[in-house]
Structure formats: structure tokens, C-alpha cells
Structure 1
Amino acid sequence: MMNKIKTLVVAFLLISISSFAQTGNQPIKIGYTNVEYILLQLPESRQIESELKTHSTQLENQLKTKYSEYETKLAALEKGGPTMDKVVRDDKERELMNMQNSIQEFQRNAQASLQQKEKSLVDPVINKIDQAIKDVAKENGYTWVISNQALLSGPEDGDISPLVLKKLGVDPSKVTEQAAPAATNPASTTTTPAKAPVKTTPAKKK
């Protein structure tokens, strides 16, 4: 899930260079931080991960149920198809084709649903971080704040991450250097079922 969050943060990072109005001969003071790092230190990141995992599991279970029903009916047609009346067999083949189309549509909708769920959970936290960065910059006289991912070199005291964390209610002395452990990517588990049908078309007519 955290890899997915990183994708959503990228757009923010691209515009995370914040400028602040200068007055008179105010000297330029540049700070830097890492939005992704800050996000992963917040308690909200665990909540986001938990909710996405729950949502992903629900979608995955629904998809498995659809596949199981499809496989059962496909096996029944392959076994009894040769002795079925043509009208009955044709009807069951159409039913299988419709089920197959339904599964493919569900996969597409599940992916979109998961992405929308993720965006709805992450966006408010990103906005909160953005505001905290602006507040810290203003309170401490920073004229510019840039992402440290674009920083090649800089003074250690230019890192405003601890100040931003404090502003967000997190004790910087209690955070770890490493980001929160990555969770299973819900998108992959949702769109790739544990077992796909061996065959994608019903038994041939005889």
C-alpha cells in the first residue's frame, strides 16, 4: 500500500517548492523536507493502510467468488455439453460469456474503486502536511522550502522535518529513520485473483 501512497505523493512533491513573500532586504533562507517521510510518521498512515487493506480484501473475495462460480459452470458445460440439447447448450455458452465479461468489468471497476478510496484517504493528510510546512516556514523565516529529494547538498539545520512533525503533533525524537513497513499492494491482489480460469471459452459445440 505504501508504494501506492508514494505515487500519490509524487504530484505533491512536484509542486512542494513553496515560496514565501519577502519584505525589504530580507535574506533568502532555504529549508527542505520530505513529504513522504512525514506522511509515514503520522498515525494516519497506519489507518490509511488498514482501511485500504480491508477494502482490497473485500474486492478480492468478491472476485474469487465470481471466478469460482464461472469455473463451476464451465466444468459442468464441458462435462455435459455433448449430450445437451443444442438450445440449452447455446444458452449456457452465452451465460458463460456474459459471466466472463462481468468478471473483466469487475476487475476494472475494482481497480478504479481502490484508487478512488486511496485518494480520498490520502489527499486530506497531504493537505494537512502542506499547511504545516507553510506554517513552519512562515514562523521560522524560511523564504523557500524544497523537497529534499531534489537536494544535492545542504546544511543539516536546513531540514525542517522535525519542526513540521511537531506542528503535526508528532514527537520527532520518537520517530524512526525508516519508513513504515510496506504492506501488500492491494491493487495487485484485487486485480490478480489467486486462480484464473484455465479456459476462457466454453466447450465447443458438437
Structure 2
Amino acid sequence: MKHLRIGVLAFALFWGSTLFAQNPVKIGYFDYAYVISQLPEAKAADADLKAYTEKLQKDLQAKEAELRAKYERYVKEGEKMAAPTREALAKEIETGQQQLQEFQQKAESDIMQKQNKLLAPINEKLEKTLKEVAKENGFTYVIRKEALLFEPEDTSLDVSGLVLKKLGITPAPANQQNNSIKPTNNNTNPNPNIKPNTNTKPR
């Protein structure tokens, strides 16, 4: 029985090494940020997101200006106001601050949702093309460049250019990337400029 087990193990090792030799694993990598920066639809999506963000920013600034005007009125005229009027204005300012913060939070969420919606068809197209490129060029696996601990010296493993060519796009040097939109995680504010000034508190 012992000899049988050793024989089976030896056969398994031989068969496994033979199979691996016949089907070598080829791993490539893909520079998502570079590729998406070259896509016309990504540039259009970037412009769309920028316009959407700027509108929300203007809305936020308008609300902030309205709140600031109430606060300045409170500071300037508060002592002359009747107590009920002064208290009502103070309440408006307090409520306005809360609404401003809620607007900011919703704006950040809306921007992220808008970005994800714009990126979804682009990512779907890239994934489909990437699978085709990997199959045509014998890659067993393709991983994202940012997941690499170091960049391989063999640049032939970088399929980014192949993906762009398959999409009919002439690759540009990596140092000529455009600032196209990139996906963000749920803990990242896609537009750090959406920030209200909440220092207007009645004294």
C-alpha cells in the first residue's frame, strides 16, 4: 500500500509539471488610469461631471451667501430687535447651517453617483476589450498596474497599448495623460471644493 501511494504521488507530480509546462501561466498588467485618460468618451464624461459639480458648487455658494446675510443682519441689528424676532432669526440661522451641511453631504453623494453612472459604460467597454486582448495574446491573467508591488522590466506584459489599439486609439506616452475622471471609493470626496463655511453662528 505504501509503495502504491508513493507511485500515485510521483505520477501526480509528473502529470502536474507536464501540464504546467504545456500550459504556462502568462500574467499581464493594465494601466487603467493611462488608458481611460486616452478615451474620448472619458474626456466627455469628465466635462459632464465638471459642469455638474460646478452647478452644485454655485448652489452651495448661493445658500451660504443667504445664510451669511442673515447672520450679518443678526449681528448688526440683533440688539435692536424685539426678543421674538431676534430668537426667530437665530433659529433660522441655526436651521440654515444644518441644511447647508445636509446639502453638502447630498452634493458629495450625488457627484459620486453621477461619476459612477458616467464610468459604468466605459468600464464595461474596457472590460470586454481587455478580455479579448488577453485571449488573443495568450494572457492567463491580467491585473491592474496599481496592484503591482513593482513594475516589471518586461514592458511586453503591459497590455494597455494593445487595448487602446483594439479600440482604434493611437496610444499617447504615459506622461501625456489627461486628468480624466477616475473611480473613487465611498470614503473619498470626488470634489473637495464642495465645502460650506459653517462658522456663522449667532451669539
Settle same-fold status: TM greater than 0.5: yes
| Partner residue, 2:200 | 200
Say whether the 8 Å CA contact 1:81–1:89 is kept in structure 2.
yes
Say whether the 8 Å CA contact 2:63–2:100 is kept in structure 1.
yes
2: CA distance, partners of 1:66 / 1:74 = 13
User: 2:191 is paired with a residue of what secondary structure?
Assistant: helix
Post-superposition offset of 1:163: 1.4
2: CA distance, partners of 1:155 / 1:86 = 77
2: CA distance, partners of 1:100 / 1:24 = 67
The number of residue pairs the alignment matches comes to 175
Q: Percent identity?
A: 33
TM-score when normalising by structure 2: 0.76
| Partner residue, 1:169 | 168
Post-superposition offset of 1:140: 2.0
Match status 1:147 vs 2:144: yes
Letter in 1 for 2:116: K
Say whether the 8 Å CA contact 1:32–1:147 is kept in structure 2.
yes
| Partner residue, 1:123 | 120
| Partner residue, 1:11 | none
2: CA distance, partners of 1:23 / 1:153 = 22
Post-superposition offset of 1:54: 0.6
Post-superposition offset of 1:32: 2.3
| Partner residue, 1:180 | 178
User: 1:188 is paired with a residue of what secondary structure?
Assistant: coil
Post-superposition offset of 1:181: 4.1
Say whether the 8 Å CA contact 2:37–2:180 is kept in structure 1.
no
| Partner residue, 2:82 | 85
Match status 1:190 vs 2:194: yes
1: CA distance, partners of 2:44 / 2:75 = 47
Say whether the 8 Å CA contact 1:29–1:141 is kept in structure 2.
yes
| Partner residue, 2:159 | 160
| Partner residue, 1:136 | 133
| Partner residue, 1:38 | 35
Letter in 1 for 2:102: E
Structure of larger gyration radius: 2
Post-superposition offset of 1:168: 1.8
Post-superposition offset of 1:45: 2.2
1: CA distance, partners of 2:112 / 2:53 = 10
Change (3 A) 1:40 1:27: same
Change (3 A) 1:74 1:123: same
TM-score when normalising by structure 1: 0.75
Say whether the 8 Å CA contact 2:30–2:144 is kept in structure 1.
yes
1: CA distance, partners of 2:75 / 2:144 = 59
Letter in 2 for 1:161: S
Any idea what the Cα deviations from partners look like across 1:54-99, whole Å, max 9, x if unmatched?
1111011111111111111111122221121111111111111111
2: CA distance, partners of 1:133 / 1:154 = 21
